[in-house]
Structure 1
Amino acid sequence: MQTTHAIVGMTIAAPIAALSPELAGIVLLAGLVGGAIPDLDLYKGHRRTLHFPVGYPVAAGIMAVTAVVAPTPASIALTVFLAAAAAHCLMDVFGGGLELRPWEGRSDRAVYDHVRNRWIAPRRWIRYDGSPEDLGIATAATLPVLFVADGQIATIAATLLGISAVYVVVRRRLPDLAAMIAARVPPAARKWVPERYFE
């Protein structure tokens, strides 16, 4: 789930927030945004355009060295951002494939590897986004965030978890609704709708 990615990104920042409370706000938000940003390609080239399963980890490693050598709020936040984006891509590999109904297990595409110019196959350790085990990860990841966050950031984390729970309830009904809406899209506008919605 997009919400799980965002929460896990915040969890990556939690140890820094605990050790340096003055950085809590910026690193928790950097984790949230970094965890969410790859899915901005959802409707165009999903899991390929903004997903870099090799690039993000390498960039995060380089930035981590920079943050150790020259620790500033910006360098630390950028490290968290990149680490969260890297975790997002890894989580997508561990989950289901790139298909409207990932529980059917028909897709061999999880995330595109730009270095090797090929798709990485899904492992399906988490059956699909919005599965009960996905909610379990989101719940477990929220706890350390709530421990180190307060105010608005704690509210954001709790809200994301609430959205996750609702999504899990409706997840398996959404493909039929999406396909029904896609069927009504005028032919001229179909190029803007992902192919999987017409399966």
Structure 2
Amino acid sequence: MMNTTHGAIGVAMASVTVLVAPEFAAVAAVAALLGSVFPDLDLFFGTHRKTLHFPIVGWVVALPATVWAVLAPSVESVGAAFFALGATVHAVTDAAGAGHELRPWERTSQRAVYAHVLGRWIAPRRWIRYDGAPEDLVLMGGVTLPVLVLYDGLVRNVMLLALVISVVYTTYRKRMPDLTPDWLG
């Protein structure tokens, strides 16, 4: 999935706060967005979808943080809960996509995301054929809709920008590997 899709999923999860605790809506959106894009920082360590992706262990942090936010709502507890939920859901949804490869439409990799507890890679499900696939863009747009309805101002504008970036990325995705330097691939 595109990083923008991960971010949109996180902010869509956070949009529940607009309805139940509007005083925490902004912090929930920001924390969810940051948590949802955070795991992909491991791209820079050469260990993408392994070092900062925790599809199983992440729940050990996310669930207690969510309970904390429900029982003692504060900027800190709500922020921690949505950051952890965003990061964990990101790792889980990576398994719904393609393998960890430069040209995922070629299906040469059986590694979607690393499960530390199991000590092995989880195989890609390919429900989203590859990051930037048309269905990825449709998913990104679909999860962005409630955000656009429930939020205004900065959150709405950031999500609109993410949608525009997603359209451009989807348009050029299959051409990108040819432009990628060998050392980055």
Q: For this structure pair, what is the TM-score category when the shorter chain's length is used for normalisation?
A: over 0.9
Which residues in structure 2 correspond to 1:114-125 (within 5 Å)? Answer: 114-125=116-127
Counterpart amino acid of residue 159 in structure 1:
L
Distance in 1, matches of 2:63 and 2:22, equals 23
Distance in 1, matches of 2:35 and 2:151, equals 17
Distance in 1, matches of 2:166 and 2:73, equals 34
Distance in 2, matches of 1:129 and 1:135, equals 9
Which residue of the partner structure matches residue 38 of structure 2?
37
Cα displacement (A) at 1:11: 0.5
Which residues in structure 2 correspond to 1:133-172 (within 5 Å)? Answer: 133-172=135-174
Q: SS of the residue aligned with 1:94?
A: coil
Q: Contact conserved, 1:24 with 1:148, CA < 8 A, in 2?
A: no
Which residue of the partner structure matches residue 22 of structure 1?
23
Distance in 1, matches of 2:22 and 2:63, equals 23
Q: Contact conserved, 1:6 with 1:36, CA < 8 A, in 2?
A: yes
Structure 1 unaligned regions, length at least 5: 183-189
- State TM-score, norm by structure 1: 0.89
Counterpart amino acid of residue 14 in structure 2:
A
Q: In the TM superposition, what whole-angstrom CA distance separates every residue of 1:81-137 from its partner, at most 9, and x where no partner exists?
A: 111111111111000000001011110100011111110110101100000000011
Q: SS of the residue aligned with 2:58?
A: helix
Distance in 2, matches of 1:142 and 1:18, equals 16
Which residues in structure 2 correspond to 1:61-80 (within 5 Å)? Answer: 61-80=63-82
Q: Contact conserved, 1:17 with 1:27, CA < 8 A, in 2?
A: no
Question: What root-mean-square deviation, in Å, do the aligned CA atoms of Structure 1 and Structure 2 show?
Answer: 1.1
- State TM-score, norm by structure 2: 0.95
Q: 2:54 aligns with which of 41, 45, 52?
A: 52
Distance in 2, matches of 1:2 and 1:68, equals 28
Q: How many residues align?
A: 183
Structure 2 unaligned regions, length at least 5: none
Larger Rg: 1
Q: 2:134 aligns with which of 123, 132, 135?
A: 132
Distance in 2, matches of 1:69 and 1:23, equals 14
Distance in 1, matches of 2:23 and 2:133, equals 36
Q: Contact conserved, 2:99 with 2:109, CA < 8 A, in 1?
A: yes
Quick one: percent identity of the two aligned structures? 46
Q: Contact conserved, 2:27 with 2:78, CA < 8 A, in 1?
A: no
Deviating above 3 A after TM superposition, structure 1's stretches of 4 or more consecutive aligned residues are none
Cα displacement (A) at 1:69: 2.4
